[in-house]
Amino acid sequence: MATEEKQENGGGDAPAALKLFGSWASSYTHRVQLAMRLKGLDFEYVEEDLGNKSDALLRHNPVYKKVPVLVHGGRALAESVIILQYLDDAWPDSRSLLPADPFDRALARFWCHFADDKLGPAVGAVFASTGEEQEAAVRQVHDNLALLEAELREGVFKGRRFFGGDEVGLLDVVLGCGSYWLAVFEEVTAVRLVDADAFPLFHTWLRDFEAQEEVKETIPSVDRLLEYARGLRQMLLALAAGAGASGSATAVDSPAPPAATADIAVDI
Ligand SMILES: N[C@@H](CCC(=O)N[C@@H](CS)C(=O)NCC(=O)O)C(=O)O
């Protein structure tokens, strides 16, 4: 990945600046913003228009062409979970996101992979579908939440307030920044995803996570997310029905469709 122009790093001997390229509704961007807040790191934020990506973003992330991208000391890093781990490595004296124990560190990474590999795509599929396809996706979300609930009840996370222990850690940031979308999706699709009776420990964890000051500072207002999600779902369903070319799907105030439309639902 390209290195930043010297002047973008403050120039000369100025301390290395942190610059984050992100998108306001992107949960992956929120992960990095939240982590930097938890660590007390100052950063410059650059909002990207994902329908018209900047040259700087494409230069910094030529592989995936996605946000978030963190530029530190003129060098760019992509992929949110990799960025979070880098922040821990590069600022060892700040609040740690990963636990100290090697096995616990590996477990946190494993469940982060689960969040991005299984839970996130299932939630995205609920959002982008209807009928039987949606019912199957809802079952997958519930199966995945049941796995987390079991780990909280009697497994590796038993007795913990947060997945990271007494404080929000890597897995809390990763799971939490996607989980506030569950309520937004429930409202937009009228499908119940997190039933407090079925997943009481996960439900309590999510409320606790959302109540953290740094989280409240990071997550956009529900009204704004709802408006965005309604437009996005309408566009996705229209595209799925083959009506995308008519332009009717973008009649509402929906976001500009990114290049990879099929990825939209899971790319929130
Ligand atoms: N695995 C990536 C996912 C990042 C991602 O999907 N970003 C979305 C926004 S939430 C994006 O930039 N989409 C633009 C595109 O796909 O063209 C990460 O963890 O950072």
Distance 65 CA to ligand 1 centre (A): 8
Residue 124, classified by CB atoms within 10 Å of its CB into exposed (0-12), middle (13-18) or buried (19+), is buried
CATH 1.20.1050.10 fits 98-268, yes or no: yes
Q: Where are the domains of the chain?
A: 6-90, 98-268
Q: Taking residues 34-62, report their average pLDDT.
A: 97
- Atom of ligand 1 lying closest to residue 27 CA: 10
Asked if pLDDT for residue 10 goes beyond 80, the answer is no
Distance 93 CA to ligand 1 centre (A): 29
Q: Ligand 1 pocket test: which of 112, 175, 267 has the largest number of ligand atoms within 8 Å of its C-beta?
A: 267
Which position has the higher pLDDT, 10 or 48?
A: 48
Which architecture does CATH list for 6-90?
3-Layer(aba) Sandwich (3.40)
Q: Ligand 1 pocket test: which of 64, 69, 114 has the largest number of ligand atoms within 8 Å of its C-beta?
A: 64
- Closest residue CA from atom 12 of ligand 1: 66
Supply the mean pLDDT for the chain. 87
Amino acid 240: pLDDT:
83
Host H or E run for residue 144 = helix 131-154
DSSP 11-57: STTPPPPEEEEE-TT-HHHHHHHHHHHHHT---EEEE--TTS--HHH
pLDDT tens, 170-220? 999 999 998 888 889 999 999 999 999 999 999 999 999 999 999 999 999
pLDDT tens, 74-111? 999 999 999 999 999 999 999 999 999 999 999 999 99
Distance in angstroms (rounded) separating the CA atoms of residues 80 and 140: 24
